Amino acid sequence: MSFIQTLVEDHVAILTIDRPKALNALNSEVLSDLETAVDGLDLDTVRAVIITGAGEKSFVAGADIGEMSALSKEEGEAFGKRGNDVFRKIEQLPVPVIAAVNGFALGGGNELAMSCDIRICSENAVFGQPETGLGITPGFGGTQRLARLVSPGYAKQLLYTAKNIKAPEALRIGLVNAVYAPEELMPQAIKMAQTIAANAPIAVRACKKAVNEGLEENMDDAIRLEERLFGACFETEDQVEGMRAFLAKEKHAPYQNK
Ligand code: CAA
């Protein structure tokens, strides 16, 4: 029995974190199952991934506090590395990942959402980094990704106060792109994933690489990176077909990832 359910349909994979009795909190087993599920994605088929939580109440309520409570300094650091390695793998997946946040996204839950390319949430979603209230810092990338995603000042407020925010505030600060009624969240996530999957996969992957890697570079190197990725799209079957169809005023044939 895995703590992750995987469903693949029409180029879209849905990974559901399924440990509802602990509000989908991430213990070592859940992290391992998540890594196995990510490693198991067939990237020849899958063009977009959605990550969500089982049940109506929680996306992920954080790293498992019971498991962490007795860790030594060395074990704590190793647990942080474990989570970071899995989340970095998600962040660096060649295809886009959407977090469909269906409730609590606290601590490691918010950190998981921030490792995804895009976050959308339900009206009942709650976000926060409660760690300083527990005597620790965030350990799965929260100090770094939050400060990069929202303003450093707002990130520090969330980190120092350990106060949670609700969906409208998460939308206002740009932590999520959209807020939906709970029953609309997955249909909207699937619709977005299908829209992405219908575009030329080589170009979509190149956009992800350009944004993620370009943000780590100075502007001159980042622009060079875009030039190389832009150039690499030319002469692909999908580029030739996409431009042919536009010029012929026709709908392009389904893209082939070639
Ligand atoms: N770890 C382990 N168990 C958790 C958990 C967590 N992070 N969050 C919830 N649970 C468990 C609860 O212990 C409870 O289990 P029992 O039924 O066996 O008692 C069950 O899930 C249901 O939770 P509650 O009864 O507390 O539900 P609630 O609706 O009253 O409250 C909540 C919901 C506000 C999310 C509350 O559960 C809560 O505050 N959870 C902890 C949130 C948190 O602090 N997360 C950060 C963890 S630290 C971290 O993530 C570090 C890192 O960066 C790596």
Domain co-membership, 66 together with 174: yes
Domain co-membership, 49 together with 115: yes
Enter the pTM of the model. 0.98
Q: Residue 217 sits in which domain range?
A: 199-247
Domain co-membership, 178 together with 203: no
Q: Is residue 252 part of a domain?
A: no
Q: Is residue 257 part of a domain?
A: no
Domain co-membership, 62 together with 190: yes
Domain co-membership, 210 together with 124: no
Q: Is residue 256 part of a domain?
A: no
The domain spanning residue 48 has which CATH number? 3.90.226.10
Residue 1's pLDDT is 82
Q: Is residue 224 part of a domain?
A: yes
Residue 2 main-chain phi, psi, to 5 deg:
-95, 150
The domain spanning residue 233 has which CATH number? 1.10.12.10
Domain co-membership, 139 together with 239: no
Q: Are 257 and 202 in contact (CB under 8 A)?
A: yes
Domain co-membership, 142 together with 204: no
Domain co-membership, 26 together with 138: yes
Residues 6+ apart with CB under 8 A from 224: none
Residue 176's pLDDT is 98
Please tell me if the CB atom of residue 241 comes closer than 6 angstroms to any atom of ligand 1: no
Q: How far is the CA of 20 from the centre of ligand 1 (A)?
A: 11
Domain co-membership, 117 together with 149: yes
The beta strand positions in 110-247, using DSSP E, are 118-122, 126-128, 165-166, 178-180
Structural domains of the chain, count: 2
Q: Is residue 204 part of a domain?
A: yes
Indicate if 226 belongs to the active site: no
Domain co-membership, 229 together with 116: no
pLDDT by 10s per residue, the chain, length 258: 899 999 999 999 999 999 999 999 999 999 999 999 999 999 999 999 999 999 999 999 999 999 999 999 999 999 999 999 999 999 999 999 999 999 999 999 999 999 999 999 999 999 999 999 999 999 999 999 999 999 999 999 999 999 999 999 999 999 999 999 999 999 999 999 999 999 999 999 999 999 999 999 999 999 999 999 999 999 999 999 999 999 999 999 999 999
For ligand 1, mutation pick of 3, 23, 68 (most atoms within 8 Å of CB): 23
Q: Is residue 255 part of a domain?
A: no
Domain co-membership, 139 together with 211: no
Q: Is residue 258 part of a domain?
A: no
Domain co-membership, 227 together with 187: no
Find the helix or strand (DSSP H, E) in which 209 lies: helix 201-214
Q: Are 218 and 192 in contact (CB under 8 A)?
A: no
Q: How far is the CA of 61 from the centre of ligand 1 (A)?
A: 5
Pairing of strands 178-180, 118-122: parallel
Which of 29, 111, 226, 241 is catalytic? The answer is 111
